[in-house]
Every structure is written in C-alpha cells, then in structure tokens.
Amino acid sequence: MSHESEYLTFALGKGRLANKTLEMLEQIGITCEEMKDKSSRKLIFVNEEQKMRFFLAKGPDVPTYVEYGVADIGVVGKDTILEEQRRAYEVLDLGFGKCRMCVCGPKEAKELLQHHERIRVASKYPNIAKDYFYNKKFQTVDIIKLSGSVELGPIVGLADVIVDIVETGSTLHENGLEVLEEVCPLSARMIVNQVSMKMKSERIRELIMKLRELEL
Ligand code: PRP
C-alpha cells in the first residue's frame, strides 16, 4: 500500500486528461520525462528524484485505485466521480475538460420530460441518470446502460432520451438531437485518498496550494 511509502502516487485517466494533467504538473515543477513518449505502452512511471509515481488507468477505475489507497491522488472527470461513488476527498477543480452532463434527445421528447411519463433513458452513466430522474425530478424511468455512442439510442428507437456528456454539441447536432435539460456542469477534478490526506498531508497540501496558485 502506498500510505507507508515514500512516494506520492498519482492515478491518471489514460488519454487527454492525463496529458493535460502532466502539462499542469510541469508548471509547478513536477516532471516525468519518460511519460512524454507517446508511443510507449508502459503503464507505470517513476520520478526517483522527486519521489513521484504515476500510473495510467482507465478513467472509471481511477476512483477505485484512490479509494483503496494504491494511489494517493487521482485526476478524473466529475462525471466519473459521480458515477463511481467511491470514497475519496475531492480537493480541487482543475478547470480543464469543461463540459456538461445533459439529458438529450429529439426535440419532440421534451414533452415526455414535463409530464413524468415512464420513459426509457439510455446512458453510459446509469447512476447519474438514476439520481437525476429519481431524486431531482421524481420521475420513474427505465434506465438502459450503454457503453458508448449513446446518441444512437433515440435514433434507432432503443430509448426516448439519453443522459450524456455534451462538449461542443456537434455529436448531438450531427445526429439530429439536442440538449433538453442540463444535469450538471463537469470538469477535471483532483481526488485524494482519505488516509493519504492525513499520512502525507504536508506533501499533498503543498501540491494543492501550488496548483491553486496557477489560477486554474
Ligand atoms: C463523448 C460524449 C458525446 C461526445 C460529446 O463521447 O459521450 O458522444 O463526446 O462531445 P461533443 O459535444 O463535442 O460532440 P466520446 O467521444 O467520449 O465517445 P463515446 O461515444 O464512445 O462515449
């Protein structure tokens, strides 16, 4: 377990989020040269001088690594934090990866949302969808979990609406769908293991302070 170790361990969601995170860490003097090699398939990287370790995980697994304490710190989208419901402290809004979680569908579906009808909702985020419809709108719906390309749902008749991430809106537009309601704003967040926050508080607090000064 990493709590006792001298390293500060980061779990990063593979892809764009990890790249943005490394750029940000570089601005406060934390580097990991070997991680910049885009062709590399390695998953774990160590900076011996700075006693930092980084590993690349699938986004939805980042909160899992942090909850179990094998990573002290995770960087992940708010969507994943809400969906995975893992125990960890959310300490910082990193300000990048800004987008919105929305209920989307064809224009005609707007009415279905106003009359509390029992509709079918497709989503990669069944927990977020369930929380929104049951606890915020008090609307009983059937949730259908999909793994991606969720926009297909309403087009082919699998679902009435979807709950999905909207960034530029072009995926919706190109598929004849639109935003019907906003669930919540999203962005990249830093999360910290609850034990690490106590055991490595000095290093973690310093890191958070430096990142705050970047005016994220
Ligand atoms: C995400 C999301 C939308 C799209 C939104 O999908 O699920 O489909 O991006 O972006 P836009 O508003 O800028 O068009 P992603 O590319 O992650 O792939 P997925 O469909 O497999 O989830």
Per-residue H/E/C for 135-158: HHCCCCCEEEECCCCCCHHHHHCC
Can you give the pLDDT at residue 179? 98
Q: How far apart are CA 7 and CA 131, in angstroms?
A: 37
User: Is the distance from the beta carbon of residue 171 to the nearest atom of ligand 1 less than 6 Å?
Assistant: yes
Read off the pLDDT of residues 74-116 as tens digits, 9 standing for 90 and up. 999 999 999 999 999 999 999 999 999 999 999 999 999 998 8
Residue 207, H or E segment: helix 201-213
Same domain, 93 and 105: no
Nearest to 52, CA basis, from 42, 44, 60? 44
Q: How far apart are CA 59 and CA 46, in angstroms?
A: 20
CATH number at residue 162: 3.40.190.10
Same domain, 124 and 202: no
- What range does the domain containing 8 cover? 3-97+187-215
Q: In what order do the strands lie in the sheet with 178-186?
A: 142-145, 120-123, 161-166, 99-105, 178-186
User: Is the distance from the beta carbon of residue 167 to the nearest atom of ligand 1 less than 6 Å?
Assistant: yes
Can you give the pLDDT at residue 37? 76
| Atom number of ligand 1 nearest to Cα 167 | 12
Same domain, 103 and 173: yes
Can you give the pLDDT at residue 34? 77
Whether the Cβ atoms of residue 159 and residue 120 lie closer than 8 Å to each other: yes
Same domain, 92 and 43: yes
| Atom number of ligand 1 nearest to Cα 166 | 12
Same domain, 47 and 111: no
Same domain, 129 and 152: yes
Can you give the pLDDT at residue 105? 98
Same domain, 22 and 49: yes
Same domain, 93 and 171: no
- Which residue lies with its CA nearest to atom 17 of ligand 1? 148
Structure tokens at 208: 């958070």
Can you give the pLDDT at residue 2? 47
Same domain, 63 and 123: no
Can you give the pLDDT at residue 35? 75
Same domain, 148 and 108: yes
Same domain, 109 and 125: yes
Sites in the chain below the pLDDT cut of 50: 1-2
Can you give the pLDDT at residue 43? 87
Task: Tell me the CA–centroid distance for residue 138 and ligand 1, in Å.
Answer: 27
Same domain, 161 and 129: yes
Mean pLDDT over all residues of the chain? Answer: 94
Can you give the pLDDT at residue 4? 57
Q: How many domains does the chain have?
A: 2
